[in-house]
Structure 1
Amino acid sequence: MVTWITLTGVGLAGLAGLTPPALTGHGGGPAPLEWGTGPLTVASLPRVVQVAHRGGAREVPENSMAGLTAAYARGTAQVLDLDTRMLGDGTLVVLHDATLDRTTDTHGPVRELRLADWRKVRVRPEGRVPGTWRAERPPTVAEVLDRFGGRVVLMLEAKDPQSLGALAGLIRGRGLARSVFVNSNRPEVARRAHGLGLVTQLWRSAEQLRTDRPARWASYVDLLDVDHKARDADLVRAVRSGIPRVWAHTVVTPAQRDRVLALGCNGVVTDAPGRLARHPVKRPKGFRTAGAEPGR
């Protein structure tokens, strides 16, 4: 059971004390209203997308059910991002690091835990996160899919590549293969995910983008997730690669967002979705959207 106490900050006051929406999922009752004849899919996303990175890690406790619920309820992001890890017994859970040390009240490698151990772990929000949050157990991937699957597009990073088959099973078993991006930094993992019928995402650092040739991945990557700190030329090469979606991470200021959009990216992955939503997009002077012809 997740308890959500209060949120603070501009645009969040209306959510203070709000009970998380009653969400139903796989085996949990009728399909959400948003589904219509099926779940909300990647194809339904707007032309320019905002992603709540780890739920919006500067605004909510990262990778927590309460944080994801807050991001979903606020509606400032069209995609919810989270990280996945595998326990020693094969259970897939939601956590970024390979150890429990940074974000929970427990220490040690995630891989040494079993599900019974995981249920005793509690999230420890960072001090910079606004508001008051009651201790809660970090979720399993199945729990997140059951709560949000089909209601909002999800982005799941497979931190443990060996978990890809199990992750595909959870996604496809719930009819969510077209509703979830499966993310990795490794092209070979993206190729495997594509072969499993999943929507594939590949993220690359600024350093990697210096020598990358993204066009080589266009046949099996649906979303290229690029570092906003990359050089203009590297971002433009990514935009012109033939990969249909190019989003930039991890953006925290309106100026960072405006630059990558002006260079042709069609989405941003951000730790501060609420902050960005309060500032309309401004295209910097001298920039022309990559690939656009003069006069258009």
Structure 2
Amino acid sequence: MHKLEASEGLRQEKLKQLRDYLHESCTSKRVVNIGEVAFVTSINLLSGTLFSLDFASFDSNSAQEMKETVQGLMKILGTPNLADYFPLLKLIDPQGLRRGSEDLIVAGADTTIDSVQWAMTELLRNPHKMTKAKDELRTIIGENKQVEELDISRLPYLQAVIKETFRCHPAGPFLVPHKAEANVEINGYIVPEDTQILVNVWAIGRDSRIWSNPDIFEPERFLDNKIDYRGQHFELIAYGSGKRMCPGLPLAHVMVHLMIASLIHNFDWKLEPGMKPEDLDLNEMFGLSLHKAIPLEAFPIFQ
């Protein structure tokens, strides 16, 4: 089998496991932690690709333990390293950051979890947007069918939902640290060579000079323009641009679309008793990735 076909087959297998778990949750009327099921799906896709085994399973301690490990790695990546400012310290690595950041192959799952959780939060807060996304899936894909990678290009509203999620809740609010290669003047300010630079992507997405009604979740803003997040449009660079662009973008693009489609295609979602859509929390935890402060939980209902 061709390597590309094998990878796509593995993704479909992991998505089927996700849907099977949601079916079981419907039958048992069990609440689902959206971030956790997204994590299990993402981490098992990565571990299956690299090691041909699953690192976690739904409803098990292994999932929580692995999630804590990944979040710990992301915290390490986001910690300022004294050795960057005092080169003599690089040899002794006083904070243990270099040692702690080895074998970081699973850290890519973290940003995918956040994107899926934020997208589902916004859709549950905006039921009419959820309805439009579900209607598109039913019209283009049909009932009780599995969304495949080739279908993504035929789902403009789903694509718009993901773009709007990246605008409102970028996976990396400050991107990875950059460094000036030479002295440069920007808007009258001199940025010295070797200065560490953080790009505030979160603020760009909330800038009213660029976006109308920036605090409103409005996927429709992306239906009539060609703005994309692949590094060519600086108003939407959730994954960076140029040489320092996130290498995990192609996989994240596919997995976020397919996971959201799997979660909403043949499932309705109900919040806990007494909770209204507008009650859903939007508090953020800033770091190398943008976490949701309070995990999203809801009850799936099979259509």
More RCO (CA 8 Å, sep 6+): 2
TM-score (structure 1 length as normaliser): 0.24
TM-score (structure 2 length as normaliser): 0.24
Higher share of residues assigned strand: 1
